[in-house]
Amino acid sequence: AGAGNAQREIVRFIWEKYGVQLLDEAWHQYLRFDDCARYAYDALFDRYHAWRAFSLHGKDCGGTVALITRKYEGAFQNEKDTKFAGEIPWKQYLLDRHARNRLELAAKWLFEGTLERVYFDARHNNIRTACGLAYFGARWQDQRLLDAARRTVNLYLAAPETADGMRPAVFSIGSRPGWLNGADGWATSEAFGVADLADTGYWLLQYGMLGGEGAAPSADQVLTVCGKIAESILKKQTDAGFYRRYFPGSTAERPLDSASEDMSTLEQRWFSVNATAAAGRFMAAMAQVTGDQHLLAGAMKTARFIADQVLPEHNWSGQSTPIDYYGGLKRQNCSVIYLAADLFRIIAQITGEKGWLDSGIAILDDLLLYQQLWTPSYLLVDGTGGFGASNSEGVWNSPIQAPIALLLMDWYELSGEKEYFDRGVLALRASYATMLVPENKRLDDEIHCQFGAVDYGIIVDNYAYAGKDTGFGIRVNPGWGCGTACAVTALVQKHYGDVYIDIPRQKAFGINGCRVKEARISSARVALTLETMPDYPEPKHNSRLEPGLTDALILKFRIGSEAGGEMTQVSVNGERLGYYSAAQLKEGISWDWRRHQSALAEAAQKLNVERVFVGVQEVELGGVIEDHGNDDIPDVKVDEYADMEFNEYAAEGVDDQHEYQPEVQHEDQPDDQAE
């Protein structure tokens, strides 16, 4: 198929036939996100001891180690796991140009159980992990997490910088501590990777934009470093707009003959779609934050190259995409398509030009072909809504689905296409599908012999490598599984909350443990009917969360540009929450769903026996409560408009702020005079 909207009809058909009903049929979520994140961080810090804190040049630094062997003995009882651990492909290591490095890697993994390195590469990125640590540390007032986020960023800022702005991607904490230039899978490389530098810069920018979350260094300091990285990437861009996998001059490989080489370099493996998309996305993100037109021009040059040379052939190959020798299929990697789709989204948002929007949607359609809108009966995990790794790698549930979830929500923000946000919610929930916790009943019932309490909170990445159930391996990647899921959840919570209400488009979405059953929305009044997922016993993580966090849903709103100074009334499930300004709605308001349910249950118990007369007609007390409120439930205000058709009271002028204002009663004014 060619470029443009060639895949749109297929993607839309699959969604309408199999996807639309998924959020209503089942929750695809077993814990609320705070409990998932608490489990994950307890595992990394307390059970697996993946965190390392140290001092470097007088600065407090730290990071999570790269690779850990699972601690639960039952994990080794699985035949596939034992085979996976024992059969290191020695021939591959010996013949590889990084033989010493890989032998050291194998020895550390087999005999020490831990790879004592802190990675800042495109996949296992500690800066991405720091974003989650900073957000949840501030949310929970957990100084340990805040300190870990600060130390992680300090470590990267302390990295040596070359004259042309390159920064290394790996810090070794072992017997020979020091910086290693680039990453080559789990091994390292003498060359500086383009995607490594660009992706670390992007997540460093996200860390700085979290602003006010209580973690240092300052946003200005972070933005300065991001600016240097972006300028360095821009200066090394070819005239055609593409990038190689490694920066020229940092490797012994054949340099480019000319900065304007054409696509023939693709066949010679001097061109990397992954590096090109990552570099373009970071430059675009920096341009969006700073307004730098030079960076925007560089991002647009990269995007034009992708639109002209990559999209028509759908050739989304990545640095970890195996070559398909027999099928004749183009190599496609979901990580690469994700980066390109985000690049075009940002440019379309900045410029407002339809061409960028259309090309971005075409790229997004390629990506959505990989979203799992079903879960095979022969697999143990409920990965519905998640993403695999590529079309030539047997991974059913890849951690890349978490960043894709945020991408889809951001694409809804730009396009207004409801399908994208719904898909994003499914992808975010699928990011925790392989978390080893007792609440994940599907796993706990089937393979409980493979994990125990020591594993609680671990997310095992890249599930079903062989396309079938082989259990879970013994390898744990802290920054790829737990780190990525929690970091993206933090950004989703920061920008979209637990419930997201788009007032101009009159749409509402349940994200975290809830679904929107009905939404009546205008600029003057928002009335929601929410269903919350079934409650569960207190999870078995180490640190108990404050009930005020887990018992409340944060409602965040999109406000139109035409919004003035008028107040908007918000009610949920008949409970009036109050009147709010546009600034308050954007910041987010809280609704205590647990208290509301308790109050309703108490009221329902009373209504079973209480009846009153209104005039000469006997009615249930519930009807009076719905119309006039219930003084016996002082904390819950029942919305007198909850059962009216929205258009009816809108037509009667209820939306007019001058005709529908909250009543104000002075303390010395009798109740009958107030009425």
* Domain boundaries defined on the chain: 8-496, 501-674
pLDDT of residue 379: 80
Helices 219-235 and 293-305, interaxial angle, to 10°? 50
3-class DSSP state for residue 185?
coil
pLDDT of residue 604: 66
Q: Which residue has the tokens 């790794």?
A: 389
Q: Structure pTM?
A: 0.84
CA distance 244 to 238: 9
pLDDT of residue 62: 96
3-class DSSP state for residue 289?
helix
For residue 563, is it left (φ>0), alpha (ψ between -120 and 50) or beta? beta
Locate 591 and state its tokens: 């609704």
pLDDT of residue 649: 40
pLDDT of residue 362: 96
CA distance 618 to 602: 22
pLDDT of residue 217: 83
Fold of 8-496: Glycosyltransferase (1.50.10)
Burial 440-476 (b: 16+ CB within 10 A, else e): beebeeebeebbbebbbbbbbbbbbeeeebbbbbbbb
Residue type, 375: T
Q: Which residue has the tokens 């890697």?
A: 105
How many degrees, rounded to 5, is the angle at CA 286 between CA 280 and CA 288?
100
Rounded to the nearest 10 degrees, how much is the dihedral formed by the CA atoms of 184, 189, 193, 195? Answer: 20
CA distance 638 to 515: 20
CB 145 within 8 A of CB 40: no
CB 111 within 8 A of CB 119: no
Residue type, 140: W
3-class DSSP state for residue 305?
helix
pLDDT of residue 470: 62
CA distance 246 to 253: 9
Q: What is the largest CA-CA distance in the chain?
A: 96
pLDDT of residue 477: 83
Locate 259 and state its tokens: 């900065």
CA distance 152 to 217: 10
Closest by CA to 392, choosing from 444, 351, 336, is: 336
CA distance 581 to 572: 17
pLDDT of residue 36: 96
The CB density around residue 651, as the number of other CB atoms within 10 Å, is 10
pLDDT of residue 446: 75
pLDDT of residue 402: 97
The H-assigned helical ranges of 174-292 are 194-209, 219-235, 264-267, 273-290
Closest by CA to 574, choosing from 644, 628, 520, 641, is: 641
Q: Which residue has the tokens 């059970």?
A: 47
Question: Mean pLDDT in each 10-residue stretch from start to end of the chain (675 residues)?
Answer: 68 94 92 96 91 92 82 49 33 39 56 76 93 95 95 96 91 84 77 94 95 68 95 94 80 37 43 93 98 98 96 80 61 93 99 97 96 84 88 82 98 98 98 92 78 86 69 75 96 98 98 97 96 90 79 93 81 95 95 81 63 48 46 47 43 40 43 43
Locate 507 and state its tokens: 């749409």
Strands (E) located in 379-483: 475-476
CA distance 143 to 135: 11
pLDDT of residue 188: 76
Helices 33-42 and 482-496, interaxial angle, to 10°? 150
The CB density around residue 160, as the number of other CB atoms within 10 Å, is 10
